[in-house]
Structure 1
Amino acid sequence: MKILLIPDKFKGSLSAQEVAVAVSNGLRRLEKRVVIHKVLASDGGDGFLEAVQRMKKIKEIEIDTVDPLGRKIKAEYLWDSVNKSAYIELAKASGLTLLKFEEQNPMKTSTYGTGLQLKDAIAKGAKFIYVGLGGSATNDVGIGIASALGYNFLDSNKQNLNPCGENLNKIESIFLNKNNSIFEGVRIIAVNDVNNPLYGKNGASFVYAAQKGGNRADIEKLDLGLRHLDKKVKEQLGKEEAVIPGAGAAGGTAYGLKVFLDAEFIGGTEFIFNLCQVDKLLMEHNFGFIITGEGSLDKQTLNGKLIQGVLELGRRFNVPVIAVCGKLGIDKKELNTLGFMDILEISDSSKSLQYSMENAANLVEGAIFNYFGKAVL
């Protein structure tokens, strides 16, 4: 029997790799000879570089840059010299994990440090730059990145503004000296699985800014700032991209990459599946099952995320899909109608959430062992 594993992380408990190990252990307790293939994905957020490194043996570059508050740090990205491609994870220089809790403030933070990484990759001759979005500490619409690459954002007095969230509403002029546009001829690809528009109740600020330290007043000001910048972009650059799905990703960085650097969008799931040639894998092997899963399986799970992509693979190649999850937040019958063969929930209502999280690996292994123990591998 051959089984394909495509798990997501159990946030706060297990990485995708650890989920895969737990599932593998459960299967091999029953049948030592089972053949297991693993595809470890990323939605473009935390773990993006790790996911790429598992598929491609390419060089890691560490450079001097700055964190979301402008302090000097070192951050890495991946460089494929053969294909002239760079892979940059936004969170490495602009991530929330770089800040102490009391420092988190989307009014003050900037993506400028990530822009310095793009600038370095372009200087090395990059023709393709993949930017994994997610985990950001920012709500600056990517003007920090744009500033690092030659854009100037000016106030009513023609003074350069610091590229951060609180200054979005002050931007009156957007200027790029075409003689200094170093990104000309470079394809920028924004990788993420978020579908939010730029502004509004489902936009970057109202949905995500509170997680980055913003209070209610900040969120309202930031949303107004997003609307203001979009208005200036329409007037001065002639671009209207605020409502496209995914524009609100990473504090609007996806929007900024698109309007300032002409970036393309690709879903994280699609990106990883292409990178590891998962279609070819399914054509070459006769898999009995695909096993996927994540920490919480709910309605949000099927909103462009990994498991939705796995279900589509199962349908196309006629392979049954089984999901294992920490907590099931949707009616099991509803999920079954979407194409799951079965869903295994590891949480025990008689035990605390903390217990389930601390023992997630053993619980996943046990759930797989018990389920497949009723069948013949």
Structure 2
Amino acid sequence: MRFVLIPDKFKGSLSAKEVIGAMSSGIRQVHPEAEISSVIASDGGDGFLHAVASAIPVREVLCQAVDPLGRKIESRYLFSREDQAAYIEMAECSGLVLLDASERNPTRTTTLGTGMQIRDALERGARKIYIGLGGSATNDGGIGIAHGLGFRFRDRSGKVLEPVGGNLTRVHQIDTRAVMVELKGADLFAINDVQNPLLGSKGAAAVYAPQKGADVEEIRSLEEGLKNLDLIVGKALGHSAADLPGAGAAGGAAYGLHVFLHAKFIKGVEFMLKLTRSETLFKEGGIDLLITGEGAIDEQTLQGKLIHGVVLLGNKYRVPVLAICGKLDLAPGDIGKFGLEAILEIRDPRKPVQYSMENAAILIENSLSEYLRKRKNT
């Protein structure tokens, strides 16, 4: 039997590496001679740098930046000398984890810190820059990133606006006179598996702003702000990308990366498979089961999280896909939408959530071995 394991982390419980270890133990209980291959992957969210560092030789670079509220911090990204490529994780400077619950408000937050990291990488000679999106505390349409690279967003009076979500409705003109010339010689890539557009019921504000602390009125204001930004971008730059699948990722940061920095979008799973040269496993054929998983599976999983990308990979090579999760939050009728052979939930509803988190490894191992034993006998 041949198995390929491509799980995400179980947030707050197990790293992706630990999940792979638990899955492998479960497989060995039923198929002791199984051939098991694994990929430490990322959909571009938090854990992106760890996934990259596990795949290729890179060095860590420290640079001064700011957090989502503009406070000075020391941040890190990765650099590969071999191909002059930088790898930046958006959550490092613009992440929700950097804020206390009382500080979370996407009308006040900015992606400026991520822009400062991109600037630093360009100044160090980066020719390719890969930005892992996800886990952001922001909804600024990427104007913070652009500001960090020399773009200036002005109101009707010509005053430079602070690049935060709450100022999107005030953007009237885009000043490109101070944009870094180094941008012309670099290729940028936005890494994420989210397919949401910028605007509308599935857009950045409607879907993700509530998770970042926005109330109903703030969500409405952010939506209007993103509409205004897209209007001004169309007039100033002659290019609109609001309907581009994935533009709504990270509070519209993906949109900003595309329209201001000409970044191309790459799906997280595809990116990691290429980086690790793991797709050769599938091209060779003979894989019996592809196993993935993450802490929770819900409706948003269908919007482009890692599991969605793994399912697409399985479909491409006609390999069945099994998912394991800590918590399954789907109506029974919706489970079939994922294209999975099955979803295994390790949580015991009779016990506290903390129990499942503390015992996630053995629960994954036992759940998987039980499923494979039944699968083997049918």
Same fold (TM over 0.5): yes
Q: Does 1:268 align with 2:275?
A: no
Contact 2:112 2:144 in 1 (8 A): yes
Q: Does 1:131 align with 2:131?
A: yes
Secondary structure of the equivalent of 1:227? helix
Read off the aligned partner of 2:109 and give its amino acid letter. Answer: T
Contact 2:7 2:291 in 1 (8 A): yes
Quick one: distance in 2 between partners of 1:10 and 1:319? Answer: 24
Contact 1:146 1:260 in 2 (8 A): yes
Quick one: distance in 1 between partners of 2:178 and 2:74? Answer: 30
Equivalent residue, structure 2, for 1:43 = 43
| Alpha-carbon distance, 1:326 to partner | 2.6
Q: Does 1:218 align with 2:210?
A: no
| Alpha-carbon distance, 1:286 to partner | 3.6
What are the Cα deviations for residues 178-230 of structure 1, in whole angstroms up to 9, with x where unaligned? Answer: 77433112111111111222122222112111222222222221111111111
Read off the aligned partner of 1:84 and give its amino acid letter. Answer: Q
Read off the aligned partner of 1:169 and give its amino acid letter. Answer: T
Contact 2:155 2:172 in 1 (8 A): yes
Read off the aligned partner of 1:123 and give its amino acid letter. Answer: E
Secondary structure of the equivalent of 1:7? coil
Equivalent residue, structure 1, for 2:239 = 239
TM value normalised by structure 1:
0.92
Read off the aligned partner of 2:117 and give its amino acid letter. Answer: Q
Read off the aligned partner of 2:184 and give its amino acid letter. Answer: E
Report % sequence identity. Answer: 50
Quick one: distance in 1 between partners of 2:223 and 2:336? Answer: 38
Secondary structure of the equivalent of 2:296? strand
Secondary structure of the equivalent of 2:343? strand
Read off the aligned partner of 1:213 and give its amino acid letter. Answer: G
Contact 2:106 2:137 in 1 (8 A): yes
| Alpha-carbon distance, 1:325 to partner | 2.5
| Alpha-carbon distance, 1:307 to partner | 2.7
| Alpha-carbon distance, 1:312 to partner | 3.6
Secondary structure of the equivalent of 1:73? strand
Quick check: 366-375 or 37-46, which moved more?
A: 366-375
| Alpha-carbon distance, 1:84 to partner | 1.3
Equivalent residue, structure 2, for 1:195 = 195
What are the Cα deviations for residues 42-96 of structure 1, in whole angstroms up to 9, with x where unaligned? Answer: 1111111111111111111111111111111111111111211111111101111
Contact 1:13 1:358 in 2 (8 A): yes
Closer/same/farther in 2, CA of residues 100 and 271 from structure 1, 3 Å limit:
same
Equivalent residue, structure 2, for 1:3 = 3
| Alpha-carbon distance, 1:351 to partner | 3.2
Equivalent residue, structure 2, for 1:76 = 76
Contact 2:268 2:309 in 1 (8 A): no
Secondary structure of the equivalent of 1:184? helix
Equivalent residue, structure 1, for 2:350 = 350
Quick one: distance in 2 between partners of 1:8 and 1:319? Answer: 19
Quick one: distance in 1 between partners of 2:322 and 2:169? Answer: 48
Quick one: distance in 2 between partners of 1:181 and 1:70? Answer: 25
Secondary structure of the equivalent of 1:183? helix
Quick one: distance in 1 between partners of 2:255 and 2:141? Answer: 6
Contact 1:269 1:305 in 2 (8 A): no
Closer/same/farther in 2, CA of residues 166 and 46 from structure 1, 3 Å limit:
same
Contact 1:332 1:343 in 2 (8 A): no
TM value normalised by structure 2:
0.91
Quick one: distance in 2 between partners of 1:85 and 1:277? Answer: 17
Contact 1:8 1:292 in 2 (8 A): yes
Quick one: distance in 2 between partners of 1:163 and 1:296? Answer: 33
Quick one: distance in 2 between partners of 1:193 and 1:186? Answer: 23
Contact 2:151 2:179 in 1 (8 A): no
Quick one: distance in 1 between partners of 2:325 and 2:169? Answer: 43
What are the Cα deviations for residues 343-377 of structure 1, in whole angstroms up to 9, with x where unaligned? Answer: 3332334334443333221111111222334538x
| Alpha-carbon distance, 1:98 to partner | 1.0
Contact 1:131 1:190 in 2 (8 A): yes
Q: What is the aligned-residue RMSD (CA, Å)?
A: 2.3
Contact 2:26 2:365 in 1 (8 A): yes
Quick check: 302-311 or 239-248, which moved more?
A: 302-311
Contact 2:149 2:179 in 1 (8 A): no
Quick one: distance in 2 between partners of 1:157 and 1:342? Answer: 58
State how 1:1-377 maps to structure 2 within 5 Å: 1-177=1-177, 180-284=180-284, 286-330=286-330, 340-374=340-374, 375=376
Quick one: distance in 2 between partners of 1:319 and 1:269? Answer: 16
Closer/same/farther in 2, CA of residues 227 and 299 from structure 1, 3 Å limit:
closer
Q: Which runs of no fewer than 5 residues in structure 1 stay unpaired? A: none
Contact 1:347 1:353 in 2 (8 A): yes
Contact 2:302 2:338 in 1 (8 A): no
Quick one: distance in 2 between partners of 1:112 and 1:205? Answer: 19
Closer/same/farther in 2, CA of residues 97 and 298 from structure 1, 3 Å limit:
closer
Quick one: distance in 1 between partners of 2:180 and 2:297? Answer: 47
